[in-house]
A and B are shown apart, each in its own frame.
Chain A
Amino acid sequence: MTQEVGQRMLMAGNNAIARGAYEAGVYFASGYPGTPSTEILEVLSQHREIKAQWSANEKVAFDEAMGVAMSGKRALCSMKYVGLNVAADSFMVFPFAGTIGGFVVISADDPGMYSSQNEQDNRYFARLAEIPMIEPSDPQEAKDYLKLAYEISEKFSTPVLFRTSMRVSHSKGMVTLGERVKVGDSTSFVKDVPNWVVPIFAKSLKAKLDAKFAAITDYVETYEYNRIEKGTGKIGVITSGASYTYTKEILPEASVLKLAITYPLPKQMIIDFCAQYDKVYIIEELDSFIEDQIRVWGVTNLSGKDIFPRTGEFSPDILAKCLFNEQPMQDFSNEFNIISRPPQLCPGCPHRGAYLALKKSGALVTGDIGCYTLGSLPPLGAMHTSFAMGTSIGNAFGFELGGISKVAAVIGDATFIHGGIPSLIDIVYNGGNTTVVILDNSTTGMTGHQEHPATGQTLQGKEVPKLDLVNLVKALGVKHVQVADPFDQKAMYQAIKDALEHEGPSVVITNRPCIFARGEKQRPKTPYVIDIDKCTQCGACQRIGCPGVLPGEQAAIDDVSCTGCSLCAQACKFDAINLKGE
């Protein structure tokens, strides 16, 4: 897609953020896939002027971006909000030293948990780390504010938290493109041990950080992008992010204090604003982050979480209901109890094969984050716990330590690289028996099939040697390692059985790619077909839960979506399912 300076086009928030990074002269961008942030790095990587890479995990990404910033160039680190939990160790310490080149970390939050494991309000991270935070409310601002973030970062030598949300990142709006600025390209680092060796000099650096933050707080008091839109009437609203756009829909006449920088807050500006109105509504999704700070200043004519929800996304409709106690529009979906349409494993997904075998084994299965988390749902019901990235292996060892005898952890290839390796080392080191099943489908699946160190290609398309998971696991000291084909149910089940029975840690690695992994879509596939003369209508093929096996009294296979994995054929005891043409 050609992008010319001055062009006005329809752009998604994440694309606009990527464009903002380009225009800001960003030199390096790192991150890890995670909804709703993933597109930022994918789009950024199309600009050859920027070195962009998927890192092994968010902490690694953060550390790398730190190095680039310390070398004097503008660096960007992008992640989903839970990724900041992973990067938090470095994130919390870096501000003590400050930065040289502009350093912006993007946290893409997901209020309403459309695609996430929990709901957390990452605005607190800015407060915890004592750094400023900026929040766009639509794609044009997403682009503009990223550039502002770099200006603030370099003005105060501080990392800046750029906070977006699912709605801003994935909505599209009109954006006018600008030029890429030329920024400094120094390549030197001046030795200054009392500033950069934080652990030894933390006390003095804390005093410096506090003083710096006081200066930032002063600066923000008159920040031109925090603006008041004067309306008529007696109510005021303080808001930011996507909530600003909803506010304009339902309260077009209210006076609105729109915050661009949402930490630190402009105290005097807010106190003066609130004094002008009978009532001021604080419209913010999730926690009372802004409201609590204002209340501490003694402002009392506020209404916030007393009427607005603390969980979930807002919408003009929800806000109107809270504000005006309006009757909801006739909602037919509730009235007629409409069947849900949850996501499911695709036809031909290799995870299905692994789960059918695991289910048969009767093991307690600890799980993790990825497409394979869907294996917990019916009809497979083959994963029993899941929390956060890389947790499954430690959890499994924990269950074993707690006395549960038959436990297996499942983890994806990307997830294993992200955070599973230390856990596996620990099982060997601390003498566990745990079985780990690495579901290696040659991609980072759920987030849209990104590459990772074991797929053989980088974000910017460079061919690189694949990380060899089999040898890695052996090198970690695991003696019992087996590769198994999830589309061969007998072999898969045997591999799991052997692993569970083995005394000592064991690893089983599956070896079929995701149907969307690089190169797979183009591969010709022969579908299976049900011979209705041999079929006894027992339903066994339907019970494996493949969307390609259609329901009804007489099962049939949808030959458009069937990829020929053969799992339904293996489930059939009557030899009624065979390859088309056989």
Chain B
Amino acid sequence: MSKIINILLVGVGGQGTILASKILTNVALAQGYEVKMSEIHGMAQRGGSVVTQVRIGEDVHSPVIEPGEADYMVAFEQLEAYRWSHFLKKDGVLIVNTQKIVPLPVLIGAATYPENILVELKGRVEHFINLDGLKLASEAGNVKATNVVLMGVLSKYMDFPEDAWKNALVAGIPAKLLDLNMKAFASGVAEVK
């Protein structure tokens, strides 16, 4: 059985995790891989957690990734990174967008948003990178391109050629927004030294 690559995308509804997963899966499919994925998106638009699980390889049966089995995890928000971090392999790669989106318990004063998430995670994970995706996207032209910035970061860690990612962007993004998204992607790529 050939190797299966497991990628977890976690965030909050509205952050563009679903478009990001489309770009990622388009890259894999264009490279000839088979894909199975899971997405529970029922409450997404009402500010709930969104988790997309992507499994790339042949002979993939289950569409879900098990704790400790994710090769890559891209977190679009800090608290969600914290919540799902136990899904990462010991030598997995954790990419965290430092954005904070306040959940309901914090909004109503029943809880406080944890302060040391990034420090905690860095201590636990072998390959860790965090970045201000919002800022980079804004510099590229629009905060809504944060998801593409993060895909740029991910592209540096995965083994797909950069051209494959660019082609996926061309295929997945409307022409008039392509320029901005290419810039956003490039700024994500540049974050990885």
Q: Which residues of A contact B (CB under 8 A)?
A: 9-10, 12, 35-36, 114-115, 138, 166-167, 170-174, 244-246, 248-249, 315-317, 328-333, 336, 338-346, 371, 374, 377-379, 516, 542-543, 545, 547, 550-551, 560
B46 contacts which chain A residues (CB < 8 A)? 343-346, 371, 374
The answer to whether A115 touches B39 (Cβ under 8 A) is no
Asked whether any CB of chain A lies closer than 8 Å to the CB of B141, the reply is no
B37 contacts which chain A residues (CB < 8 A)? 10, 171-173
Asked whether any CB of chain A lies closer than 8 Å to the CB of B34, the reply is yes
The answer to whether B113 touches A339 (Cβ under 8 A) is yes
Asked whether any CB of chain A lies closer than 8 Å to the CB of B119, the reply is no
> What is the minimal beta-carbon distance from A66 to any residue of chain B, in angstroms?
30
Complex formed: what's the CA distance from A332 to B81 in Å? 11
Asked whether any CB of chain A lies closer than 8 Å to the CB of B106, the reply is yes
**Contact residues, B33-91 vs A (CB, 8 A):** 34-43, 45-49, 60-64, 66-68, 79-80, 82-86
> What is the minimal beta-carbon distance from B58 to any residue of chain A, in angstroms?
10
Known interface pairs A338-B83, A341-B79; 10 further A-B residue pairs with C-beta atoms within 8 A, sorted by A's residue number:
A170-B40, A172-B35, A174-B35, A329-B67, A329-B86, A330-B68, A341-B12, A341-B104, A343-B13, A551-B106
Asked whether any CB of chain A lies closer than 8 Å to the CB of B105, the reply is yes
Which 3 residue pairs of A and B lie closest in terms of their CB atoms, listed nearest first? A115-B42, A343-B46, A171-B63
The answer to whether A346 touches B45 (Cβ under 8 A) is yes
A316 contacts which chain B residues (CB < 8 A)? 62, 64, 66
Complex formed: what's the CA distance from A317 to B39 in Å? 18
Q: Which of B43, B85, B110 has the most CB of A within 10 A?
A: B43
Complex formed: what's the CA distance from A203 to B149 in Å? 68
A167 contacts which chain B residues (CB < 8 A)? 38, 63-64
> What is the minimal beta-carbon distance from A271 to any residue of chain B, in angstroms?
27
The answer to whether B48 touches A341 (Cβ under 8 A) is yes
Asked whether any CB of chain A lies closer than 8 Å to the CB of B175, the reply is no
The answer to whether B62 touches A245 (Cβ under 8 A) is yes
B192 contacts which chain A residues (CB < 8 A)? none
A340 contacts which chain B residues (CB < 8 A)? 103-105
Asked whether any CB of chain A lies closer than 8 Å to the CB of B158, the reply is no
> What is the minimal beta-carbon distance from A448 to any residue of chain B, in angstroms?
8
Q: Which residues of B contact A (CB under 8 A)?
A: 12-13, 25, 29, 34-43, 45-49, 60-64, 66-68, 79-80, 82-86, 102-111, 113-114, 120, 124, 143
Q: Which of A115, A340, A545 has the most CB of B within 10 A?
A: A340
B61 contacts which chain A residues (CB < 8 A)? 244-246, 248-249
Selected from B39, B102, B109, the residue in CB contact (under 8 A) with A550 is: B102
The answer to whether B67 touches A328 (Cβ under 8 A) is yes
B35 contacts which chain A residues (CB < 8 A)? 10, 172-174
The answer to whether B110 touches A336 (Cβ under 8 A) is no
Selected from A174, A328, A542, A547, the residue in CB contact (under 8 A) with B47 is: A547
Selected from A173, A343, A545, the residue in CB contact (under 8 A) with B48 is: A343
Complex formed: what's the CA distance from A490 to B85 in Å? 47
10 residue pairs bridging A and B, Cβ less than 8 Å apart: A174-B34, A332-B86, A338-B79, A339-B79, A341-B79, A346-B45, A378-B110, A545-B108, A547-B104, A547-B107
> What is the minimal beta-carbon distance from B59 to any residue of chain A, in angstroms?
9
The answer to whether B85 touches A332 (Cβ under 8 A) is yes
B113 contacts which chain A residues (CB < 8 A)? 339
Selected from B38, B68, B104, the residue in CB contact (under 8 A) with A171 is: B38
Q: Which of B60, B103, B107 has the most CB of A within 10 A?
A: B107
A170 contacts which chain B residues (CB < 8 A)? 38-41
The answer to whether A343 touches B106 (Cβ under 8 A) is no
Given A172-B36, A328-B67, A542-B107: A333 and B62 interface contact (C-beta under 8 Å): no
> What is the minimal beta-carbon distance from A111 to any residue of chain B, in angstroms?
12
Selected from A10, A171, A248, A342, the residue in CB contact (under 8 A) with B25 is: A10
Complex formed: what's the CA distance from A112 to B62 in Å? 17
B86 contacts which chain A residues (CB < 8 A)? 329-333
> What is the minimal beta-carbon distance from B185 to any residue of chain A, in angstroms?
21
Complex formed: what's the CA distance from A246 to B36 in Å? 13
Given A172-B37, A249-B61, A333-B83: A339 and B106 interface contact (C-beta under 8 Å): yes
Complex formed: what's the CA distance from A3 to B114 in Å? 47
The answer to whether A339 touches B105 (Cβ under 8 A) is yes
Residue of A nearest to B43 (CB): A343
A171 contacts which chain B residues (CB < 8 A)? 36-39, 63-64
The answer to whether A346 touches B47 (Cβ under 8 A) is yes
> What is the minimal beta-carbon distance from B189 to any residue of chain A, in angstroms?
25
B36 contacts which chain A residues (CB < 8 A)? 138, 171-174
The answer to whether B29 touches A10 (Cβ under 8 A) is yes
Given A10-B25, A10-B29, A547-B107: A249 and B40 interface contact (C-beta under 8 Å): no
B105 contacts which chain A residues (CB < 8 A)? 339-340, 342
Residue of A nearest to B35 (CB): A10
Residue of A nearest to B67 (CB): A329
Selected from A332, A339, A379, the residue in CB contact (under 8 A) with B111 is: A339
Residue of A nearest to B1 (CB): A252
B66 contacts which chain A residues (CB < 8 A)? 249, 315-317, 329
Complex formed: what's the CA distance from A12 to B63 in Å? 11
B120 contacts which chain A residues (CB < 8 A)? 336
Selected from A115, A331, A377, the residue in CB contact (under 8 A) with B104 is: A377
